[in-house]
Amino acid sequence: MKALQIYIVEDEPLIVSTIETALLKQGFKIVGDASNAISALKDIKSLQPDLILIDIQLEGNQDGIDLALDLDKVQLPYVFLSSQTDPDTIERVKYTNPLGYIVKPFTENGLRTNIELAWHKYIDSEPQFLTVKHEGRLHRINQNAIQYLKAFDNYCYIVTNTETFLVPHTLKYISEQIESDNFVKSHRSYVVNLKHVQSVNKNSLSFENENIPLSASQKSLVITKLKSM
Protein backbone atom coordinates (compact mmCIF):
# COMPACT_ATOMS: atom_id res chain seq x y z
CA MET A 1 0.00 0.00 0.00
CA LYS A 2 1.22 3.51 -0.68
CA ALA A 3 2.93 5.45 2.10
CA LEU A 4 0.67 7.76 4.08
CA GLN A 5 1.52 11.40 3.24
CA ILE A 6 1.62 13.60 6.31
CA TYR A 7 1.88 17.37 6.79
CA ILE A 8 3.09 18.76 10.15
CA VAL A 9 1.94 22.05 11.69
CA GLU A 10 4.25 22.76 14.64
CA ASP A 11 6.19 25.88 15.71
CA GLU A 12 9.01 24.10 17.57
CA PRO A 13 11.73 23.06 15.03
CA LEU A 14 13.14 20.40 17.36
CA ILE A 15 9.73 18.76 17.73
CA VAL A 16 9.19 18.91 13.95
CA SER A 17 12.52 17.14 13.45
CA THR A 18 11.65 14.53 16.09
CA ILE A 19 8.27 13.80 14.48
CA GLU A 20 9.75 13.61 10.97
CA THR A 21 12.50 11.21 12.07
CA ALA A 22 10.06 8.97 13.92
CA LEU A 23 7.51 8.83 11.08
CA LEU A 24 10.05 8.30 8.31
CA LYS A 25 11.40 5.29 10.24
CA GLN A 26 7.87 3.87 10.28
CA GLY A 27 7.42 4.20 6.51
CA PHE A 28 5.32 7.38 6.43
CA LYS A 29 6.06 10.20 3.97
CA ILE A 30 6.42 13.82 5.18
CA VAL A 31 5.26 16.23 2.47
CA GLY A 32 5.86 19.50 4.34
CA ASP A 33 5.57 21.50 7.54
CA ALA A 34 4.69 24.99 8.76
CA SER A 35 4.91 26.94 12.02
CA ASN A 36 1.73 28.99 11.60
CA ALA A 37 -1.87 28.44 10.49
CA ILE A 38 -1.82 30.78 7.47
CA SER A 39 1.22 29.19 5.81
CA ALA A 40 -0.04 25.73 6.68
CA LEU A 41 -3.45 26.26 5.07
CA LYS A 42 -1.85 27.55 1.87
CA ASP A 43 0.53 24.57 1.72
CA ILE A 44 -2.18 22.03 2.53
CA LYS A 45 -4.44 23.26 -0.27
CA SER A 46 -1.54 22.88 -2.69
CA LEU A 47 0.01 19.63 -1.45
CA GLN A 48 -3.20 17.76 -0.53
CA PRO A 49 -1.63 15.50 2.15
CA ASP A 50 -3.49 12.44 3.40
CA LEU A 51 -3.33 13.52 7.05
CA ILE A 52 -2.33 16.67 8.94
CA LEU A 53 -0.75 16.75 12.43
CA ILE A 54 -1.62 20.02 14.18
CA ASP A 55 -0.11 21.54 17.31
CA ILE A 56 -2.64 23.80 19.01
CA GLN A 57 -0.21 26.52 20.13
CA LEU A 58 1.26 28.13 17.01
CA GLU A 59 3.01 31.32 15.89
CA GLY A 60 0.74 34.19 14.82
CA ASN A 61 -2.79 35.27 15.67
CA GLN A 62 -4.42 31.98 14.65
CA ASP A 63 -3.79 28.78 16.56
CA GLY A 64 -4.22 25.12 15.65
CA ILE A 65 -7.91 25.12 16.52
CA ASP A 66 -8.52 27.99 14.10
CA LEU A 67 -6.72 25.96 11.43
CA ALA A 68 -8.77 22.89 12.30
CA LEU A 69 -12.02 24.80 11.77
CA ASP A 70 -10.81 25.78 8.29
CA LEU A 71 -9.90 22.15 7.52
CA ASP A 72 -13.34 21.01 8.68
CA LYS A 73 -14.90 23.27 6.04
CA VAL A 74 -13.06 21.40 3.27
CA GLN A 75 -13.30 18.01 5.05
CA LEU A 76 -9.58 17.29 5.33
CA PRO A 77 -8.50 14.80 8.05
CA TYR A 78 -6.26 15.91 10.90
CA VAL A 79 -5.01 14.90 14.35
CA PHE A 80 -4.19 17.31 17.17
CA LEU A 81 -0.73 16.99 18.68
CA SER A 82 -0.48 19.15 21.79
CA SER A 83 0.57 19.48 25.42
CA GLN A 84 -2.50 21.62 26.16
CA THR A 85 -5.19 19.74 28.07
CA ASP A 86 -6.70 22.61 30.06
CA PRO A 87 -10.52 22.86 30.20
CA ASP A 88 -10.73 25.97 27.98
CA THR A 89 -8.70 24.34 25.20
CA ILE A 90 -10.66 21.09 25.39
CA GLU A 91 -13.92 23.05 25.26
CA ARG A 92 -12.80 24.72 22.01
CA VAL A 93 -11.64 21.37 20.61
CA LYS A 94 -15.19 20.04 21.07
CA TYR A 95 -16.30 22.27 18.18
CA THR A 96 -13.81 20.65 15.78
CA ASN A 97 -13.69 17.20 14.19
CA PRO A 98 -10.21 15.71 14.70
CA LEU A 99 -9.49 12.04 14.14
CA GLY A 100 -7.54 12.01 17.39
CA TYR A 101 -5.70 13.98 20.07
CA ILE A 102 -2.08 13.01 20.81
CA VAL A 103 -0.80 14.46 24.07
CA LYS A 104 2.83 15.60 24.34
CA PRO A 105 5.24 14.27 25.36
CA PHE A 106 4.71 11.23 23.16
CA THR A 107 6.71 8.10 22.42
CA GLU A 108 7.64 6.97 18.91
CA ASN A 109 5.41 3.91 19.22
CA GLY A 110 2.57 5.96 20.67
CA LEU A 111 2.79 8.44 17.82
CA ARG A 112 2.72 5.69 15.19
CA THR A 113 -0.13 3.82 16.87
CA ASN A 114 -2.30 6.92 17.20
CA ILE A 115 -1.74 7.88 13.57
CA GLU A 116 -2.51 4.37 12.32
CA LEU A 117 -5.69 4.16 14.41
CA ALA A 118 -6.79 7.62 13.28
CA TRP A 119 -6.22 6.78 9.62
CA HIS A 120 -8.00 3.43 9.98
CA LYS A 121 -10.97 5.24 11.53
CA TYR A 122 -11.00 7.72 8.65
CA ILE A 123 -10.84 5.25 5.77
CA ASP A 124 -13.50 3.08 7.40
CA SER A 125 -15.89 6.03 7.58
CA GLU A 126 -15.04 7.62 4.22
CA PRO A 127 -15.44 5.59 1.00
CA GLN A 128 -12.21 5.49 -0.99
CA PHE A 129 -12.35 5.01 -4.75
CA LEU A 130 -9.92 3.50 -7.23
CA THR A 131 -10.16 4.95 -10.74
CA VAL A 132 -9.17 2.49 -13.50
CA LYS A 133 -9.62 2.06 -17.24
CA HIS A 134 -11.47 -1.09 -18.33
CA GLU A 135 -12.69 -1.86 -21.87
CA GLY A 136 -12.14 1.71 -22.99
CA ARG A 137 -14.05 3.32 -20.12
CA LEU A 138 -13.00 4.86 -16.79
CA HIS A 139 -14.51 3.23 -13.71
CA ARG A 140 -14.53 4.47 -10.11
CA ILE A 141 -14.43 1.40 -7.86
CA ASN A 142 -15.27 1.61 -4.17
CA GLN A 143 -12.24 0.03 -2.48
CA ASN A 144 -14.40 -1.53 0.23
CA ALA A 145 -16.20 -3.54 -2.48
CA ILE A 146 -12.96 -5.07 -3.80
CA GLN A 147 -12.55 -8.70 -2.71
CA TYR A 148 -9.10 -9.29 -4.17
CA LEU A 149 -6.55 -8.38 -6.84
CA LYS A 150 -5.02 -11.03 -9.08
CA ALA A 151 -1.87 -10.73 -11.21
CA PHE A 152 -2.13 -11.65 -14.89
CA ASP A 153 1.24 -11.03 -16.59
CA ASN A 154 1.54 -7.22 -16.75
CA TYR A 155 -2.20 -6.86 -16.16
CA CYS A 156 -4.28 -7.15 -13.02
CA TYR A 157 -7.77 -8.46 -12.29
CA ILE A 158 -9.79 -6.41 -9.80
CA VAL A 159 -12.57 -8.58 -8.41
CA THR A 160 -15.42 -6.85 -6.56
CA ASN A 161 -18.68 -8.10 -5.05
CA THR A 162 -20.45 -7.74 -8.39
CA GLU A 163 -17.91 -7.23 -11.21
CA THR A 164 -14.45 -8.17 -12.45
CA PHE A 165 -12.17 -5.64 -14.16
CA LEU A 166 -9.02 -6.41 -16.15
CA VAL A 167 -6.75 -3.36 -16.12
CA PRO A 168 -3.44 -2.65 -17.93
CA HIS A 169 -1.35 -2.33 -14.76
CA THR A 170 0.67 -4.75 -12.65
CA LEU A 171 -0.54 -6.15 -9.33
CA LYS A 172 2.17 -4.12 -7.57
CA TYR A 173 1.02 -0.86 -9.17
CA ILE A 174 -2.66 -1.37 -8.37
CA SER A 175 -1.98 -2.50 -4.79
CA GLU A 176 0.06 0.67 -4.20
CA GLN A 177 -2.98 2.78 -5.15
CA ILE A 178 -5.13 1.14 -2.47
CA GLU A 179 -5.68 3.36 0.58
CA SER A 180 -6.93 0.71 3.03
CA ASP A 181 -4.80 -1.25 5.52
CA ASN A 182 -7.28 -4.12 5.11
CA PHE A 183 -5.48 -5.29 1.97
CA VAL A 184 -2.62 -7.76 2.30
CA LYS A 185 -0.66 -10.00 -0.05
CA SER A 186 -1.76 -13.61 0.45
CA HIS A 187 0.28 -15.11 -2.39
CA ARG A 188 2.74 -13.81 -4.98
CA SER A 189 -0.17 -13.38 -7.41
CA TYR A 190 -2.89 -12.17 -5.03
CA VAL A 191 -3.68 -9.22 -2.76
CA VAL A 192 -6.85 -9.75 -0.72
CA ASN A 193 -9.26 -7.53 1.20
CA LEU A 194 -9.37 -9.14 4.65
CA LYS A 195 -12.87 -7.80 5.28
CA HIS A 196 -14.17 -10.27 2.70
CA VAL A 197 -12.33 -13.32 4.07
CA GLN A 198 -14.75 -15.85 5.56
CA SER A 199 -12.27 -18.48 6.74
CA VAL A 200 -8.60 -19.46 6.69
CA ASN A 201 -7.77 -22.95 5.46
CA LYS A 202 -4.48 -24.85 5.30
CA ASN A 203 -3.30 -23.20 2.08
CA SER A 204 -6.19 -20.99 0.99
CA LEU A 205 -8.60 -18.22 2.03
CA SER A 206 -12.34 -18.70 1.60
CA PHE A 207 -14.44 -15.95 0.08
CA GLU A 208 -18.16 -16.03 -0.61
CA ASN A 209 -17.89 -17.89 -3.91
CA GLU A 210 -14.31 -19.15 -4.18
CA ASN A 211 -10.98 -19.89 -2.52
CA ILE A 212 -7.81 -17.81 -2.96
CA PRO A 213 -4.29 -19.28 -2.56
CA LEU A 214 -2.52 -18.57 0.73
CA SER A 215 1.25 -19.09 0.74
CA ALA A 216 3.01 -20.48 3.80
CA SER A 217 5.20 -17.36 4.02
CA GLN A 218 2.15 -15.05 4.25
CA LYS A 219 -0.12 -17.15 6.45
CA SER A 220 1.12 -15.82 9.79
CA LEU A 221 0.75 -12.18 8.67
CA VAL A 222 -2.76 -12.76 7.32
CA ILE A 223 -3.91 -14.47 10.52
CA THR A 224 -2.37 -11.76 12.72
CA LYS A 225 -4.11 -9.00 10.75
CA LEU A 226 -7.43 -10.85 10.80
CA LYS A 227 -7.24 -11.20 14.57
CA SER A 228 -6.61 -7.48 15.00
CA MET A 229 -9.66 -6.42 12.96
Which CATH number describes the domain made up of 129-228?
A: 2.40.50.1020
The domain limits of the chain are 5-125, 129-228
φ and ψ at residue 181, rounded to 5 degrees: -80, -5
Q: Which CATH superfamily is domain 5-125 in?
A: Response regulator (3.40.50.2300)
Dist CA 179 CA 163 (whole Å): 20
Dist CA 229 CA 219 (whole Å): 16
For residue 20, give the nearest of 32, 3, 2 by alpha carbon: 32
Dist CA 161 CA 147 (whole Å): 7
The separation between the first and the last C-alpha atoms of the chain, rounded to the nearest angstrom, is 17
- pLDDT at position 167, please? 94
- pLDDT at position 98, please? 94
* Cis amide leading into 105 (omega within 30): yes
**Beta-sheet pairing, 29-34 with 146-152:** unpaired
Q: What is the CA radius of gyration of the chain?
A: 20
The angle, 0 to 180 degrees and rounded to 10, between the axes of the packed helices 13-25 and 108-125 is 70
- pLDDT at position 1, please? 55
**Beta-sheet pairing, 51-54 with 5-9:** parallel
- pLDDT at position 84, please? 84
Query: Distances from the Cα of 159 to the Cαs of 172, 201, 218, in angstroms?
Result: 15, 21, 20
DSSP string, the chain: -PPPEEEEE-S-HHHHHHHHHHHHHTT-EEEEEESBHHHHHHHHHHH--SEEEE-SS-BSS--HHHHHHHHHHTT--EEEEES---HHHHHHHTTS--S-EEESS--HHHHHHHHHHHHHHHHHHS--EEEEEETTEEEEEEGGGEEEEEEETTEEEEEESS-EEEESS-HHHHHHH---TTEEEEETTEEEEGGG--EE-SSEEE-SS-EEE--HHHHHHHHHHHHH-
pLDDT tens, per residue, the chain with 229 residues = 568 999 999 999 999 999 999 999 989 999 999 999 999 999 999 999 999 999 999 988 999 999 999 999 888 999 999 888 888 888 999 999 999 999 888 888 889 999 988 888 787 766 778 898 888 889 989 888 899 999 999 999 999 988 999 999 999 999 999 877 889 999 999 999 998 999 999 999 999 889 999 999 999 999 998 988 7
Amino acid, res. 201: N
Whether this model's pTM surpasses 0.75: no
